[in-house]
Amino acid sequence: MFFQGEPGAFSEAAIRRYFPDGDATGLGSFKDVFDALRQEPAAVGLLPIENAYRGSVYDVWDLLVASPTLTIWAEVVQPVTLALMVVPGETMQTIRRVRSHPQALMQSRGFWQPRGWEADPALDTAGSARELSQHRWPGVAAIAHPRAAELYGLTILASPIEDYADNRTRFWLLSQTPPPVRLDNGGGLMKATLAFDIAHRPGTLARVLTAFYEHGLNLTKIESRPRPGTPFEFRFWVDLGLESPEAVHALKTVVSESGLFEWHRLLGIYPVMPGP
């Protein structure tokens, strides 16, 4: 199993919720995870795709559409709980600088910014905690998942410090083959994710959305991304809620028989796992 980041990262916490006995390996970048998944057909990876307040993680989208052998097998939602941690002996009064991933810094700036602390972006949250433990910089705090403090021998001065108590991140479980543990959401919501290109003419997107409506498909998300090789034209991504077996059949009908798309790829039909 692979995730992006270091031990103590949010991605690791999410993957261990569903595979508590598995051997999870952190890698340096999203691309590294995709490379590992392409090289090991039986491996699974968990990657973030959207934060409730900061939006979509487009790097993951782009890498997935460029990886034709990978499929989305499940969606999981992980609460974002941020903690301020320091080397033992430091206090709130001695802090001058906070280190973390830029997203974590943005998601907690209501806590640290009024205190006049300097923000120091790092590659990931858990990595900022590990580096602080290793270098023991005076006057520096890290912002990370509370488990990182336990792993790296740091002291938590404040938690939770995120700006929004209901902050969450969506993750996709990706693999070339079905995961080793069947993920069952007890008959709950199923989703599908579809990427497609359409002709750059008035009304073409409206025709697609009308087809979804006429087949009873519940559109839950739509976004556009630059279309490779055609400057200032766009590829669309949609999430569709599938509330019955009939909806799955309707989706496959739209995709295969409608003639609406110049290109399309159904990236997965998958369960949405309940959050903690």
pLDDT digits (tens, 9 = 90+) for 84-139: 999 999 999 999 999 999 989 999 999 999 999 999 999 889 999 999 999 999 99
Single out the catalytic residue among 19, 171, 212, 261. 171
Single out the catalytic residue among 71, 125, 169, 193. 169
Residue 184 maps to a domain = no
The pairing of strands 263-271 and 190-197 is antiparallel
Residue 195 sits in the same domain as residue 128? no
Q: Which two tokens stand for residue 176?
A: 């070339």
Phi, psi of 228 (to 5 degrees): -55, 130
Residue 68 sits in the same domain as residue 201? no
CA 264, CA 18: separation in Å to the nearest integer? Answer: 30
pLDDT of residue 276: 65
Residue 234 maps to a domain = yes
Residue 45 maps to a domain = yes
Residue 182 maps to a domain = no
| Each residue's pLDDT tens digit, 168-184 | 999 999 999 987 666 66
CATH of the domain at 242: 3.30.70.260
Domain extent for 100: 83-158
The Cβ of residue 172 has, within 10 Å, a number of other Cβ atoms equal to 25
| Amino acid making up residue 10 | F
Residue 180 maps to a domain = no
What percent of the chain has pLDDT above 70?
A: 97
Average pLDDT of every residue of the chain: 93
Mention every residue, 6+ apart, whose C-beta is less than 8 A from residue 270.
72, 73, 74, 75, 173, 190, 191, 192, 193
Residue 198 sits in the same domain as residue 224? yes
Residue 75 sits in the same domain as residue 87? no
What is the number of structural domains in the chain? 3
pLDDT of residue 15: 87
Residue 136 sits in the same domain as residue 103? yes
pLDDT of residue 99: 98
Which regions in the chain score pLDDT beneath 50? none
CA 144, CA 61: separation in Å to the nearest integer? Answer: 24
CATH of the domain at 111: 3.40.190.10
169 a catalytic residue: yes
Residue 19 sits in the same domain as residue 64? yes
212 a catalytic residue: no
pLDDT of residue 274: 74
Residue 181 maps to a domain = no
What is the model's pTM? Answer: 0.89
